[in-house]
Amino acid sequence: MFPQLEIGSDPAVVREWATVVEEAGYTHIHAYDHVLGADPANRPGWSGYNDKSLFHEVFVLFGYLAAITTRVELVTGVLVLPQRQTALVAKQAAEVDVLSGGRLRLGVGIGWNQVEYQALGIPFRQRGALLAEQVDVLRRLWAEPVVTYDGKFHQIEEAGLNPLPGRQIPIWFGGSADAVLRRTGRIGDGWMPQSVPDDRARAQVATIHAAATAAGRDPATIGIEPRLTLSAIPEADWPAFIAGWEALGATHLAVNTMNLGLQHPRDHAKLLQDLLPKLS
């Protein structure tokens, strides 16, 4: 996990972190997305990210990392897709994929921050229905030189991207609601849970697989990437966490070093470098 909230804004530190992570042997860099943070001063009970939370914009960040790295996959986890213009996301994602040599994986979700949606001019309540159509539009724009599309939320008349990515960029979903799980099974390339591998997680995976089967898809082709948050799970439980998710079909693992009280942004890279032998 790219330590968004704690790495700071020094480009040299970001560069060093990415270089160390790649050279250590990690297979992907996973960053998540927020455009605006809400000031909680006049919002009693506000919880979650705020105006003091530092977020590097994911596509700009990945453009920078594409030039620094050569091998690691660049993963959004997750991009809040409904609050962004679909054609622009298609363009940005295609560009990152082209410039990185086909290393982008697009994790998407509907988000939770109404303040952010309002500021970006997108109705909050329609975000679930909008996302499903957005995925269809993205895939059409990445595959076809010229697209005509007449949907509920999108109208495109004989227009297309250039350059095209030359492939279908994988689209994974984040979230745990039943609608998200069913959507993952129907149209997703993978799922990004943030929970432990318990009976609830087993039932969620079963929901995804059932939806995939009903849609005529092979459930085994759908990836799963859980997130091991080191600050929340004792070190003694890490092997059981990893083994439990592997038993449920996990194909990837994200490792989150934030909220450990590390003294310097550079400490995140050093910790990840030291941890990899324990996690392999």
Are the C-beta atoms of residues 262 and 8 closer than 8 Å to each other? no
The pLDDT of residue 179: 94
Are the C-beta atoms of residues 81 and 108 closer than 8 Å to each other? yes
278 — pLDDT class (breaks 50, 70, 90): confident
- Does the pLDDT of residue 189 top 80, yes or no? yes
Q: What is the mean pLDDT of the chain?
A: 96
Are the C-beta atoms of residues 91 and 161 closer than 8 Å to each other? yes
Long-range contacts of 193-202 (CB under 8 A, 24+ apart): 193/224, 193/225, 193/226, 193/227, 194/226, 194/227, 194/229, 195/226, 196/233, 196/241, 196/244, 197/226, 197/241, 197/244, 197/245, 197/247, 197/248, 197/250, 198/244, 201/245, 201/248, 202/248
Are the C-beta atoms of residues 222 and 208 closer than 8 Å to each other? yes
pLDDT tens digit string along 15-60?
Answer: 999 999 999 999 999 999 999 999 999 999 998 899 999 999 999 9
CA distance 18 to 253: 17
272 — pLDDT class (breaks 50, 70, 90): very high
**Nearest-5° Cα angle at 93, 146 to 178:** 100
Backbone angles phi, psi at 69, to 5 degrees: -105, 165
Segment holding 206, helix H or strand E? helix 199-214
165 — pLDDT class (breaks 50, 70, 90): very high
CA distance 166 to 143: 7
Segment holding 277, helix H or strand E? helix 266-279
From the list 200, 254, 199, the residue with the least C-alpha distance to 224 is 254
Architecture of domain 32-173: Alpha-Beta Barrel (3.20)
Residue 266, classed as helix, strand or coil, is: helix
CA distance 2 to 34: 14
188 — pLDDT class (breaks 50, 70, 90): very high
Which pair of structure tokens corresponds to residue 3?
Answer: 């330590």
pLDDT tens digit string along 50-107?
Answer: 999 999 999 999 999 999 999 999 999 999 999 999 999 999 999 999 999 999 999 9
Amino acid at 262: L
